[in-house]
Amino acid sequence: MLQGGANLDPGIAPFRLDGPGGPRWLPTSPEHPLKRLVAAGCGDVWALHPAFRAGERSRRHRPEFRMLEWYRVGWDDRRLLGEVVELLAELTGLDGPCTVLPWRQALERHAGVDPFTAGEDALAAALGADAAVVRGGDGRLDREAAADLLLATRVEPHLGRGEWTAITDYPPRLAAQARTRRDARGEPVAARFEIYRDGLELANGYWELTDAAELVARLDAERRTRADAPGRDARFEAAMAAGLPECAGVAVGFDRVVMLALGLADLGEAMAFPWERA
């Protein structure tokens, strides 16, 4: 499981281990090794895999958990979304339609603001007392942080109530390793989706970025935001440079699926030995 370099998804911190030959990192998801296999010509691949994220501890998070991840060669995110919902329904026994809601519309519907056109006062009013969390030292509101906080606190609790809900068309800054495209308004958006049920995020899927130079630029930009940036995953970057086929991939929080299927209150109840009992 150890990787020569870390996944660098925004807001996620990997665990580092030091040993012979230099540092290694525990995977925050099996994304990098699976994409290396796809780039090597293995075709569709999947794994039910341990994942590790430092500092994550709440009712819905643990530093160690299980990730179900797979990649479909020749697919895009829209086609993969349907397969993911079908599998989640089978695993949980929960039926119902799937509502597809663009990120911008989700904030308009459930938070009452357009994150791109609303003024600082409107964003602050929507956040209420939480606005203090996203104000800088000069008192100004960080618009991007405000939108992210609105999604987490005002939007997500409403998603997937009695149905499946897929949030799509995220802003490009949230693309991670997804490609971008134009939406119906002609605006650039990330070809990415997240799937919710009963306010719980279960899956995160991409139409995968295949432009190796763009990927390195994104990873370097993320690395610059970190005081102690992890090492580069040189073999992963080399595989991308050699050529990743057109594909779509998704990561499903498997313990969350178990939590939802069994009506559990805490993610640790889905584990034999959760973090606090390991």
pLDDT in tens, 85-110: 999 999 999 998 999 999 999 999 99
pLDDT at 10: 83
How confident is the model at residue 92, as a pLDDT? 97
Mean pLDDT over all residues of the chain? Answer: 94
40-49 contacts, C-beta under 8 A, 24 or more apart: 40/239, 43/73, 44/70, 44/71, 44/72, 44/73, 45/70, 45/71, 46/70, 46/71, 48/254, 49/1
Instruction: Give the pLDDT confidence score for residue 230 in this predicted structure.
Output: 80
Give dist(CA 119, CA 234) in Å, integer. Answer: 42
* Same domain for 189 and 148: no
Residue 168, domain member (yes or no): yes
Q: What is the DSSP string of 188-223?
A: EEEEEEEEEETTEEEEEEEEB---HHHHHHHHHHHH
Give the pLDDT confidence score for residue 185 in this predicted structure.
87
Kindly state whether residues 43 and 119 are assigned to the same domain: no
Give the 3-state secondary structure of residue 182.
Answer: strand
H helices, E strands: number in the chain: 8, 10
Helices (DSSP H) in the chain: which residue ranges? 31-39, 77-92, 103-111, 120-127, 143-150, 212-224, 234-243, 254-262
Query: Does 78 lie in the same domain as 127?
Result: no
Same domain for 34 and 129? no
Determine the Cα–Cα distance for residues 196 and 168; give it in Å rounded to an integer: 12
**Spatial separation of the C-alpha atoms in residues 131 and 123, rounded to whole Å:** 8
Number of domains into which the chain is organized: 2
Whether pLDDT at 242 is above 90: yes
Same domain, 132 and 261: no
Together in a domain, 233 and 269 = yes
How open is the CA angle 144-150-151, to the nearest 5 degrees? 95
Q: What is the pLDDT of residue 37?
A: 98
- Answer for the pair 45, 86: CB distance below 8 angstroms, yes or no: no
Q: Is residue 126 part of a domain?
A: yes
**How far apart are the C-alpha atoms of 171 and 165, rounded to whole Å?**
18
Do both 88 and 188 map to the same domain?
Answer: yes
| Pair (192, 268) in one structural domain | yes
CATH number at residue 179: 3.30.930.10
- On whether both 21 and 83 belong to a single domain, the answer is yes
Q: What is the mean pLDDT of residues 253-278?
A: 94
Which tokens is 168 given?
Answer: 């799509």
In this structure, the answer to whether residues 170 and 33 fall within a common structural domain is: yes
Task: Answer whether residue 3 is part of any domain.
Answer: no
| Rounded CA separation 85/164 (Å) | 7
Distance, CA of 209 to CA of 111 (rounded, Å):
30
**Angle in degrees, 0-180, between the axes of helices 103-111 and 143-150, rounded to the nearest 10:** 70
Asked if residue 90 and residue 205 are part of one domain, the reply reads yes
Angstrom CA distances, 158 to 61, 103, 218, stand at: 19, 13, 31
Give yes or no: residues 272 and 173 share one domain.
yes
Is 80 exceeded by the pLDDT of residue 232?
A: yes
- The whole-number average pLDDT for the span 168-197 is 95
0.95 exceeded by pTM: no
| Residue numbers of the domain that contains 200 | 16-96+162-277
Query: Residue 8: inside a domain, yes or no?
Result: no
β-strand pairing of 247-253 with 64-73? antiparallel
